[in-house]
DNA sequence: AGCTAAAAGTGACCTAAATCACTTTTCAAG
DNA sequence: CTTGAAAAGTGATTTAGGTCACTTTTAGCT
């Protein structure tokens, strides 16, 4: 566990250095969780008590429409943060599912604890500020890709951007992420 | 100008209170700008030196594809922040345009100044942290709407969510925002 | 008020991608 | 190693929405 916490500290310190005291304070606000493939981290309709930093593994975050079809909002793997951010932030029942595509391990941060460490340690507030901003930028680019590109070029774009991800994830899930049917994706390129 | 700065202070203090000293420090890092309808705030290919808080007015942020077609990323009005966030954050030439749909006024914040006030005044770091997080949540919902909803229901959804906006913006721009053609939008509902 | 230009509406036709139905391949669990 | 299930591929058909061409309406500007 020491080792895993060290990974989290490194993750924070990629942006801002922390003193040992600060880190000890921060660290004490996380809790560890481990799940097997196919287990749920978050389920629609239930409370979302945490956001999760992924130590190891791979998850998908998705919503299910009225026809039972799955729409993938995000894939998240090592070093990513994942949650039903909307439900978490507003402390409402969730609307999306997050489940494990591989055995996974997490550090869990409650809203209360997040606010506590942000107010106590400014470097942490700045860390989350920068992270959220980068996330925002990524989502803007995804929106632009949905508005401007054909399904096929979105696929090529993703192949270039996250080649390792594609190898870890079934193509039908990639299709769902791109907003295209499994069959159509299968007809693309090579 | 006092009055306009007061609006900005109110905007910050919706989330975290500031002492007068803190506010004076923060305030001194903004500069004022005013533009007429049809003028550009940001142009693709040029440096993006600021992010902008809108005192008054309405702008559209959009990219232009290889066929010359406009795709609207965001509408922004009073109290909104707008920029080419990607180019701004990485201090690269921009890829999108932002221009005024109405005469507009802004407070401009450079990247250097943003980092300065965030590091100096933790409440400001927390302000931007929460704002970015909320922005992230909104974009996730927009992505879900693009993945799960038909063009028509996206339109209805927008009508409900931002009815005032629709009245200030030509329908062909709404169409572009929704990722649907002007003609198709025109055939919806009433 | 009158004029121009932008915006909005509409019909006819076209196309990218969805859907349905089925086959083949791959993978994981006993 | 085998076997059942999930994933992937493929053909035929349908459909939401795009494109083109034109008309009508609305809004700004002298």
Q: Per the confidence metrics, is the pTM higher than 0.85? A: yes
Round and report the angstrom distance from CA (B28) to C1' (C9).
51
Indicate if the pLDDT at residue A89 is higher than 90: yes
Cα separations (Å) of A21 from A24, A29, A104, B144? 5, 13, 29, 41
What is the C-alpha to C-alpha distance for residues B25 and B123, in angstroms, rounded to an integer?
12
- Work out whether the CA dihedral B69, B60, A129, A14 comes out positive or negative: positive
Whether residue A139 and residue B136 make contact (CB cut-off 8 A), yes or no, is yes
Comparing CB atoms, the residue among A85, A134, A179 nearest residue B146 is A179
- Predicted confidence at residue A3, as pLDDT, reads 92
pLDDT, tens only, B173-189: 999 999 999 999 999 97
Task: Using alpha carbons, select from A77, A114, A128 the residue that is nearest to residue A98.
Answer: A77
What is the C-alpha to C-alpha distance for residues B185 and B158, in angstroms, rounded to an integer?
12
What is the C-alpha to C-alpha distance for residues B141 and B129, in angstroms, rounded to an integer?
19
Crossing angle (nearest 10°) for helices A111-120 and A20-27: 170
- Percent of chain B residues topping a pLDDT of 70: 99
* Angle, vertex CA A132, rays to CA A171 and CA A93, nearest 5: 75
**Residues from chain B contacting residue A85 (CB–CB below 8 Å):** 133, 136-137, 140
pLDDT, tens only, A140-165: 999 999 999 988 899 999 988 898 88
CB pairs under 8 A between A and B: 101
Indicate if the pLDDT at residue B190 is higher than 60: no
The mean per-residue pLDDT over the stretch A112-124 comes to 98
- Give the CA count within 13 Å in the CB-facing half-sphere of B74: 20
The burial class, CB within 10 Å (0-12 / 13-18 / 19+), for B110 is middle
DSSP three-state, residue A17: coil
For A144, phi then psi, to 5°, come to -60, -40
pLDDT, tens only, B80-134: 999 999 999 999 999 999 999 999 999 999 999 999 999 999 999 999 999 999 9
- Predicted confidence at residue A151, as pLDDT, reads 87
Comparing CB atoms, the residue among A63, A125, A176 nearest residue B129 is A125
- Predicted confidence at residue B68, as pLDDT, reads 87
- Predicted confidence at residue A190, as pLDDT, reads 54
Q: Are A98 and A84 in contact (CB under 8 A)?
A: yes
Which nucleotides in chain C have some atom under 7 angstroms from a protein Cβ?
A: 6-12, 16-21, 29
Indicate if the pLDDT at residue B152 is higher than 90: yes
Partner residues linked to A52 by β-bridges = A82, A108
- What count of other Cβ atoms lies within 10 Å of the Cβ of residue A159? 14
Indicate if the pLDDT at residue B1 is higher than 90: no
């Amino acid at each position: 566990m020491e080792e895993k916490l060290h990974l989290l500290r490194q993750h924070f310190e990629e942006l801002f250095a922390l003193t040992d005291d600060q880190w000890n304070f921060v660290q004490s606000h996380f809790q560890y969780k481990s799940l097997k493939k196919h287990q749920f981290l978050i389920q629609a309709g239930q409370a979302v008590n945490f956001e999760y930093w992924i130590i190891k593994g791979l998850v998908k975050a998705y919503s299910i429409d009225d026809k039972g079809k799955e729409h993938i909002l995000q894939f998240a793997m090592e070093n990513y943060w994942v949650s039903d951010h909307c439900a978490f932030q507003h402390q409402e029942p969730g609307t999306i599912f997050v489940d494990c595509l591989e055995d996974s391990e997490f550090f869990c941060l409650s809203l209360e604890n997040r606010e506590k460490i942000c107010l106590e340690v400014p470097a942490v507030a700045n860390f989350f500020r920068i992270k959220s901003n980068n996330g925002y930028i990524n989502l803007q680019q995804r929106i632009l890709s949905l508005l401007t590109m054909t399904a096929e070029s979105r696929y090529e774009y993703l192949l270039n951007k996250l080649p390792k991800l594609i190898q870890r994830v079934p193509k039908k899930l990639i299709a769902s992420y791109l907003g295209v049917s499994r069959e159509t994706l299968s007809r693309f390129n090579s």
